[in-house]
Structure 1
């Protein structure tokens, strides 16, 4: 593999001259520049990305930090981000934080040391002050962090209300909620939306709320216990689609028919909802558009361009499928 010194020898110039040509800094006369470019082509020289990032304090790399890569929502949104960044010749690094603040802080510190140009992060643990002091351009995705940190999200509260209103409209009389982890902003907002619709209902029972922690295996188990204890439940709003899959698995294991005995609605709109049997009714986020916008927003920050809108909230959409009954 050719080195920068090999290029310099081939072009009969100094290593410093080759470096100026590669980085397009300083003066190099046209004839010398052409000799260097010809030598680079002849030797098929590839500049060392690490060395260039140290020199420029830039790396043409961004990071995406997500809480759980097993949740299909995050790979789908990562695809959109990668599409945008790839066109701009950026490389995407994917990091899994497990909702642990120590891992998130470690990732951010490592990214700073490696001159990663910017970060898109899904977090409920980091404070605005910590992020601002880090100094790396950051966009919050799915979960807003603070007024001064640009963010992309949806109206989780209204989406949850729409989900419960829909279950009521198709005749569900006892509606339970499988919520995400407490103190996770989108899980709390969806829980609050559910409560706004059922909190004053005469049939409402706080036992109708259980935590699935956005985990399909855990959701399956807590749902079986819930339905064993309250067999009168005929509708379930799961806090995300991944948990809705667990709800359906639990129903099948208990011998319940979905949707004849139990209607199920999720939240997110991941493609997996179209592959289950039955296919899952959901409150869909515009996942690709959100990832696309987050990437564009991060590029604006990296390039120092003014940000017109610091916080963008997308609308959600009800998509009816087979997991909810059809009113006759």
Structure 2
């Protein structure tokens, strides 16, 4: 682990990345944003629970993917005290065309952030917490040790809280990066494939489909008891057969939990919405996924990786016990 400096920050490798937000999006052509159908419209957040969660996160100087990615479920989740912590800053080193998180040169890591996350989890009284991050290609280990420190801090402060991580792909990092996160023993290891392989060059140009698939498979090799989870968006231009093939690929990597949600275009500069997938199609995907052997499936227009994560984790654990004949 690198030593922290006097300000509690950990130095990063010098990358030639632009400092301005979303610089790569300025050159993209505008894509018309279609009107959303009734089944994916949500109300603006106004509850006291929402405000309390917002204030606690602000006080602890924490970033959430709920805000940064413009999640449509933020009102519902924050009203119930649920939030997905986004560690390692709010600037990503990649420019995926579906994502609304800022791209550029990140700041140095804050060595005190794991402790602040742990304090927020305790203050919010979370029974289940999801911890994610931006991609940090500027770090030798992709931020893996920072993930591990955050997991350990939450465990120490809130030993009864179950922990789910949603990690980057640790592309070009040594094997020890993934090993460090798994060794910290989160209850759920989530890494999203995001889309079908044929769309990676448009949607995730900095990622590699089979690397991400292998990452999930490797988690199971390192710890067969750890729950693994992955998700994709639909409505980006994929067809049904490609989605079914992704399901097969995930099952070949022994992924336990699949999420499928509707892609929503954040701005005209982002990847276009090809179409809005109907609730009936989502139900058909869910049925097909269970038929392929997933322990848990969430497939609805508003499904996101951490939506109802705590309740789904309880169901996931119960499904495993039932499969083992202990339910």
TM-score normalised by L of structure 2: 0.31
Tell me which protein shows more helix as a share of its residues. 1
TM-score normalised by L of structure 1: 0.31
Bigger radius of gyration, 1 or 2?
1
